[in-house]
Amino acid sequence: MGNSASSFHFRDYQPRRLEVIDTTLREGSQTSLLHDHYKYFFNLDDKLEILRALIIYGVKFIELFAPIVSSKEKEDFQALKAARNSLITQKGYTFLLAHVRCAPADIQAAVDAGFDGLNFYIGTSRTARQASHGLDLKEIAERAGRLMEEVRRSYPHLILRFSGEDAFRTPLEDLFRVYDRIVPFVDRLGTPDTVGVATPPLTALRLQALRERYPTMEFEGHFHNDRGFSLVNSLEAVRSGMRYLNTTVLGIGERSGITSLTALLFNLFIEKEYDLLEGYHLRGSYPLNVMLADKLKLLVPSSEPVSLTNRTHTAGVHQKAVLADPSAYEAHPLDHFGVTESEILLGPLSGWNMVHYYLKEIKGFMVDEAEAKAVAAAFKERIYHLEVSQSPADLLVSLAENDFGLTRLSAPEAFRNTIVQNMGTRTEQET
Ligand code: HCA
Ligand code: CU
């Protein structure tokens, strides 16, 4: 293939102990949260920003929609690939993987577009088979086997992964039947928990059985959060020796989503699995969450381990202890994950949502969406004339206070002394 010549080859890459395959731009784009505010897809600017942020964060594998999905996806991929290429000198190579059906047209389009790898999937559970393609296991094994064999022969440099969709509701013998045929031709086997039925013990058992049967194979996990278990299942999978894990920023995805990228790395850090964290820029965690929340017009949910809410204490009884030793109620070093004011980068490209977020959540202003939009517009004008001694944050606060007359939330007298906050590098208590 002409366009593979310029690519760095997976065969020359030494995978780290943990390789996140982030799928914010594929699985994440299927989140209903986008629809909730009448925005139905990430536009190209959103995609570029997400892709760059992931690469800078240290992610080396990024899954995208297959170009066959639409001409828009096909076009956008060229821009995304160019953005990836522009970061190679600074950050090394990041592999772009297409999520493809087991169909020759899907494969050809992805190869022609210049993807580094193909993430194949086909339903293997009884429900998935009956609801979608109607093939039985023997037919799946034969058809997919032949296809994988051909693709491997024609494109030896491509990274190939095969997933039996709904793997956790597929009996192991059925999965083996298909995987036995596929295994000689692929680099990884996926084991998606498509509808979120897995538990940590089941995850461990499954992985043990799969590793016994395919001792030299790499496995990839994809856990949906329907039961609230996606994070614990992923941690269990990592403990059981799984190297590749699918994540999205904030865990967005179909229904309740999949494993949150920063939550996974945060938990591995807490468990002192430092070897697994090689090459991930942990301080970028909170800014990454904020960036995506901003696009979803949300604040970073308080259920995210790496969130601002995780470092605020309002209970009076905790106050004394927290003042004496912040770790009394805050066991985790959130500043290490970028939950500090200085990590939120404000600049000419900050959207109104980011401005809203900053003023409201960090600076405590009473500001509604319309006001935030007006402040953001003024901020964009003025930021280019910033004096050297003034920071973008100073400018924003000054605009809010002086030009727009916004006031800060002040706690009622009775509560004022019971609010204790600990925010990373912040040195003075705001009043
Ligand atoms: C989908 C289903 C999928 C695929 C996962 C995979 C799932 O949206 O097409 O390819 O490993 O959860 O099964 O996301
Ligand atoms: Cu999924």
- pTM of this prediction? 0.86
- Look at residue 264 and tell me if it is in a domain: no
The boundaries of the domain holding residue 373 are 310-415
Whether residues 227 and 359 fall in one domain = no
- Look at residue 425 and tell me if it is in a domain: no
pLDDT of res. 326: 61
- Look at residue 411 and tell me if it is in a domain: yes
Distance 169 CA to ligand 2 centre (A): 14
pLDDT of res. 255: 96
Whether residues 113 and 214 fall in one domain = yes
- Look at residue 274 and tell me if it is in a domain: no
By annotation, the residues acting in catalysis are: 318
321 vs 391, residue with greater confidence: 391
Instruction: Point out the domain boundary residue: 219, 234, 259.
Output: 259
Side chain identity at residue 207, one-letter code: L
How far is Cα 424 from Cα 211, in angstroms, rounded to an integer? 42
- Look at residue 41 and tell me if it is in a domain: yes
* pLDDT per residue as tens digits for the range 72-108: 999 999 999 999 999 999 999 999 999 999 999 999 9
Q: Domain with 159 in it: what CATH number?
A: 3.20.20.70
Whether residues 145 and 252 fall in one domain = yes
Q: Which residues line ligand 1 (CB under 6 A)?
A: 27, 99, 119, 121, 163, 165, 190, 192, 194, 222, 224, 254
- Look at residue 281 and tell me if it is in a domain: no
Instruction: Please list, in sequence order, all residues whose beta carbon lies within 8 angstroms of the beta carbon of residue 256, skipping any fewer than 6 positions away.
Output: 196, 224, 225, 226, 228
Residues within 5 A (CB) of ion ligand 2: 27
* pLDDT per residue as tens digits for the range 149-178: 999 999 999 999 999 999 999 999 999 999
395 vs 311, residue with greater confidence: 395
Q: Are 188 and 244 in contact (CB under 8 A)?
A: yes
Q: Which ligand is nearest to the CA of 166?
A: 1
pLDDT grade, residue 393 (50/70/90)? confident
Distance of CA 179 to the CA centre of its chain: 27
Whether residues 87 and 169 fall in one domain = yes
Whether residues 321 and 253 fall in one domain = no
Number of independent structural domains in the chain:
2
Q: Which one of 25, 61, 99 would you pick to mutate in the ligand 1 pocket, going by the greatest count of ligand atoms within 8 A of its CB?
A: 99
Whose Cα sits closest to atom 7 in ligand 1? 194
Whether residues 44 and 191 fall in one domain = yes
64-73, 108-117, 283-292, 320-329: which range is least confident on average?
A: 320-329
pLDDT of res. 204: 98
Instruction: Point out the domain boundary residue: 259, 279, 294.
Output: 259
- DSSP state letter for 366: -
Whether residues 153 and 16 fall in one domain = yes
Whether residues 62 and 129 fall in one domain = yes
Whether residues 125 and 237 fall in one domain = yes
> 113-117 contacts: CB < 8 A, separation 24 or more?
113/67, 113/74, 113/77, 113/78, 113/81, 114/1, 114/3, 114/4, 114/7, 114/81, 115/64, 115/77, 115/158, 116/7, 116/10, 116/158, 116/159, 117/10, 117/61, 117/158, 117/159, 117/160, 117/161, 117/187
Q: Are 359 and 353 in contact (CB under 8 A)?
A: no
Instruction: Please list, in sequence order, all residues whose beta carbon lies within 8 angstroms of the beta carbon of residue 12, skipping any fewer than 6 positions away.
Output: none
Instruction: Point out the domain boundary residue: 259, 290, 321.
Output: 259
pLDDT of res. 357: 78
pLDDT at 386 over 70: yes
- Look at residue 283 and tell me if it is in a domain: no
Average pLDDT over residues 334-362: 76
* pLDDT per residue as tens digits for the range 217-234: 999 999 999 999 999 999
Distance 88 CA to ligand 1 centre (A): 28
* pLDDT per residue as tens digits for the range 51-60: 999 999 999 9
Side chain identity at residue 261, one-letter code: L
- Look at residue 141 and tell me if it is in a domain: yes
Distance 166 CA to ligand 1 centre (A): 8
